[in-house]
Amino acid sequence: MYDGIVQDLIDEFGRLPGIGPKSAQRIAFHILQTQNFDVSRLAELLSEVREKVRFCEVCGNLTEHERCSICRDPRRDESLICVVEEPKDVVAIERTRQFRGLYHVLGGAISPIDGIGPDDLSIPALMRRIGESQVQEVIIATDPNLEGEATAAYLSRLLTSIEVPVSRLASGLPVGGDLEFADEVTLGRAFEGRRKVE
Ligand SMILES: [Zn+2]
C-alpha cells in the first residue's frame, strides 16, 4: 500500500477492465515519473468523451453527432446491415474494407448467466429498422464464443421467421475469442465467405 492519493490513483486504474493491480501500479508510476506526460490533456479528454460521445440514434455506434459517420455516409449500401456486439467490432470490420453496408450495434450478447436477455440488447431497434427499410441481407457478425453464438442463433430464427435473408460469417475465426482479435485477413475472408442461414 502506498500513502494517500498515490494508492487512490492505483485503485482507480485497477477498477478499469483488463487492468490488474500490477498494471495499475505501472500506469500510476509512469504518470508520476514521466516529466512530459500531459496530465491535463488526459484529464480533458476523459471529461470531453463523457460529455460529447454518445450512441448513434440509428445503429448504436459511437459518435459525437446524432448519427455516426457511417450512417451519414451516402455511399454506404443501406440494403446491407451487419449486426455486431460492440462499437469495437465495427472498427475491426471497417479495417478489413470488405463491407460497404451499414451496421447495427447490439450493445452486448445474450448471456443467461449474466442475466442479459434479448430485450437488454438493441434487438427491438433492429427489428424496427428492418421493418422501415428495404433490407436485402442481414449479416450476423457476433463474437465466435458461447454468448455470440447464442445471440446469432436467436437473431437468425427471429429474422428468418419474417423472411429477411440472413447470413453468418464463415468459420475460421478463432473460437472463443472476440471478433476484434481476429486479424484483418482472417476477418475479411470470414466476411467474403459468409453463408446464408436457411
Ligand atoms: Zn450509425
Say if 58 falls within a structural domain: no
Q: How far is the CA of 60 from the centre of ligand 1 (A)?
A: 6
Q: Quick one: 144 and 91 in the same domain?
A: yes
Residue 180 is placed in which grid cell?
476484434
Instruction: State the number of CA atoms in the 13 A half-sphere of 131 facing the CB.
Output: 8
Which residues lie at CB < 5 A from ion ligand 1?
56, 58-59, 61, 68, 71
Q: Quick one: 26 and 95 in the same domain?
A: no
Cβ atoms of residues 183 and 191 within 8 Å: no
Q: Quick one: 35 and 81 in the same domain?
A: no
Q: How far is the CA of 151 from the centre of ligand 1 (A)?
A: 21
Residue 175 in this model has a pLDDT that exceeds 90:
no
Say if 158 falls within a structural domain: yes
Residues 143-168: what's their mean pLDDT? 93
Say if 104 falls within a structural domain: yes
Q: Where residue 193 falls among pLDDT bands split at 50, 70, 90?
A: confident
Say if 162 falls within a structural domain: yes
CATH number of the domain within which 38 lies: 1.10.8.420
Higher pLDDT, 104 or 134: 104
Say if 176 falls within a structural domain: no
CATH number of the domain within which 85 lies: 3.40.1360.10
Residues 103-126: what's their mean pLDDT? 94
Say if 186 falls within a structural domain: no
Q: Where residue 181 falls among pLDDT bands split at 50, 70, 90?
A: confident
Q: What is the 3-state secondary structure (H, E, C) of the chain?
A: CCCHHHHHHHHHHHCCCCCCHHHHHHHHHHHHHCCCCCHHHHHHHHHHHHHHCEECCCCCCEECCCCCHHHHCCCCEEEEEEEECCHHHHHHHHHHCCCCEEEEECCCCCEHHHCECHHHCCHHHHHHHHHHCCCCEEEECCCCCHHHHHHHHHHHHHHHHCCCCEEECCCCCCCCCCHHHCCHHHHHHHHHCCEEEC
Residue 135 in this model has a pLDDT that exceeds 80:
yes
> What's the pLDDT tens digit per position in 53-93?
999 999 999 999 999 999 999 999 999 999 999 999 999 99
Q: How far is the CA of 192 from the centre of ligand 1 (A)?
A: 23
Q: How far is the CA of 80 from the centre of ligand 1 (A)?
A: 13
Q: How far is the CA of 163 from the centre of ligand 1 (A)?
A: 24
Q: How far is the CA of 66 from the centre of ligand 1 (A)?
A: 8
On average, the pLDDT of the chain sits at 92
Q: Quick one: 80 and 158 in the same domain?
A: yes
Say if 190 falls within a structural domain: no
Say if 196 falls within a structural domain: no
Residue 128 in this model has a pLDDT that exceeds 90:
yes
Q: Quick one: 48 and 93 in the same domain?
A: no
Specify the number of domains making up the chain.
Answer: 2
Residue 39 structural domain: 4-52
